[in-house]
């Protein structure tokens, strides 16, 4: 069965709509095998394939464009960007099942700080992602959470910024609010980003100047105009025990003046949820670049306004993150800047 499927994959023109970069990669034996392996594991192991697969079930090689991430279909994309997109997509789709399997098993973890966990799965997922990227782009730089402390931190012209599990504490406790976050940075600017929650089958995707998408459908920030009507989200820094009083002043003020505040425990998902209008605003301090690189691009492409706590320019290497739908931004800046 799989041999015939492999021949069909190589011959069928719709495969090139699935991964446009296949032409650039010349369908190397390794690439076709990796796609075959992914399809085989998805078909056999995942009972929910029908609900989220980019393929229509009746014909495996017919692409359902309503469910397939739009950026991979855009005509006129540069060949290099096609190759980047295909690599990113493959890394997400091959790493997602690893997280889903591990979620069902007892987890071994250790502390990197007062409240910062790392699991065996974090490291395994990161190695898998880096291996896929380096196979295609051996000269690209890598900035990844679990290897960041020991690896060269020099900024490269082309750099991938990776968080294998954003929301490790949730993951370690069996909560499905965790995601794989991967961004691509070129000459200091974010060009491509994706955040994938394999537990909820949600893929957020953005390419610079191409818009933001959730499972292939274009997304945009909310239209909420008043802070009193807004639902906000935040995260607590790992050194929160040192600044708890100041941080809680902000929380208290927002609780009195909004619909409410949520705390999901995954910065990349917080940013994506602002991007698709589930939340109206988000603030957090002392994030790392891998926490926010992909989510920042997705939010920005969805129309979000991104600044520091005082309304100044934002960068993924900064320590202050304030992202809103734009309409409540000044009101949030006024409150956050007063205490933090």
The pLDDT value recorded for residue 80 is 54
- Would you say residue 153 has pLDDT above 60? no
The pLDDT value recorded for residue 82 is 85
The pLDDT value recorded for residue 119 is 82
- Would you say residue 188 has pLDDT above 50? yes
- Would you say residue 41 has pLDDT above 70? no
Among residues 161, 165, 219, 335, the one annotated as catalytic is 165
- The model's confidence at residue 104, banded by pLDDT at 50, 70 and 90, is confident
129 annotated ligand binder: no
pLDDT tens-digit readout, 267-324? 999 999 999 999 999 999 999 999 999 999 999 999 999 999 999 999 999 999 999 9
Q: Mean pLDDT of all residues in the chain? A: 80
The pLDDT value recorded for residue 113 is 52
Domains of the chain: 80-219 (3.30.540.10), 227-337 (3.40.190.80)
Among residues 291, 301, 308, 320, the one annotated as catalytic is 291
The pTM (predicted TM-score) of the whole model is 0.77
44 annotated ligand binder: no
- Would you say residue 3 has pLDDT above 60? no
Active site residue 166: yes
Among residues 122, 126, 145, 146, the one annotated as catalytic is 145
Which strands make up the sheet holding 217-218, listed edge to edge?
A: 141-144, 158-166, 179-186, 189-197, 202-207, 211-214, 217-218
- Would you say residue 218 has pLDDT above 60? yes
More confident residue, 251 or 75: 251
The pLDDT value recorded for residue 278 is 99
The pLDDT value recorded for residue 155 is 77
- Would you say residue 111 has pLDDT above 90? no
What average pLDDT does range 146-164 have in this prediction? Answer: 78
Active site residue 168: yes
Among residues 126, 146, 163, 284, the one annotated as catalytic is 163
301 annotated ligand binder: no
Among residues 94, 122, 166, 185, the one annotated as catalytic is 166
261 annotated ligand binder: no
The answer to whether 204 and 213 are in contact (CB under 8 A) is yes
Active site residue 95: no
- Would you say residue 141 has pLDDT above 60? yes
Percentage of the chain lying above the pLDDT 90 cut: 63
291 annotated ligand binder: yes
């Amino acid at each position: 069965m799989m041999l015939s499927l492999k021949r069909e994959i190589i011959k069928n023109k719709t495969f090139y709509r699935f991964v446009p970069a296949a032409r650039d990669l010349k369908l190397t034996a390794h690439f076709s095998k990796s796609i075959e392996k992914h399809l085989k594991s998805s078909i056999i192991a995942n009972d929910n394939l029908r609900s989220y697969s980019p393929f229509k079930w009746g014909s495996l090689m017919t692409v359902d464009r309503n469910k397939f991430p739009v950026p991979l279909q855009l005509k006129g994309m540069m060949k290099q960007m096609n190759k980047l997109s295909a690599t990113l997509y493959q890394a997400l789709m091959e790493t997602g099942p690893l997280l889903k399997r591990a979620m069902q098993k007892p987890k071994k973890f250790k502390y990197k700080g007062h409240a910062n966990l790392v699991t065996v799965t974090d490291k395994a997922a990161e190695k898998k992602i880096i291996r896929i990227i380096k196979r295609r782009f051996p000269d690209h730089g890598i900035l990844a959470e679990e290897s960041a402390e020991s690896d060269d931190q020099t900024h490269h012209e082309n750099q991938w910024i990776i968080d294998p599990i954003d929301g490790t504490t949730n993951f370690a406790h069996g909560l499905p609010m965790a995601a794989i976050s991967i961004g691509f940075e070129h000459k200091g600017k974010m060009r491509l980003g994706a955040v994938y929650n394999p537990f909820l089958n949600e893929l957020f995707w953005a390419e610079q100047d191409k818009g933001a998408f959730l499972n292939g459908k274009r997304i945009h920030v909310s239209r909420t105009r008043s802070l009193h009507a807004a639902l906000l989200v935040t995260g607590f820094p790992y050194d929160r025990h040192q600044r708890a009083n100041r941080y809680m002043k902000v929380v208290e003020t927002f609780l009195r003046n909004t619909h409410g505040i949520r705390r999901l425990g995954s910065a990349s998902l917080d940013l994506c949820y602002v991007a698709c209008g589930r939340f109206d605003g988000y603030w957090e301090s002392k994030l790392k670049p891998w926490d926010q690189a992909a989510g920042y691009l997705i939010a920005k492409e969805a129309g979000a306004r991104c600044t520091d706590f005082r309304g100044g320019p934002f960068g993924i290497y900064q320590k202050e993150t304030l992202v809103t739908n734009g309409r409540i931004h000044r009101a949030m800046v006024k409150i956050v800047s007063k205490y933090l």
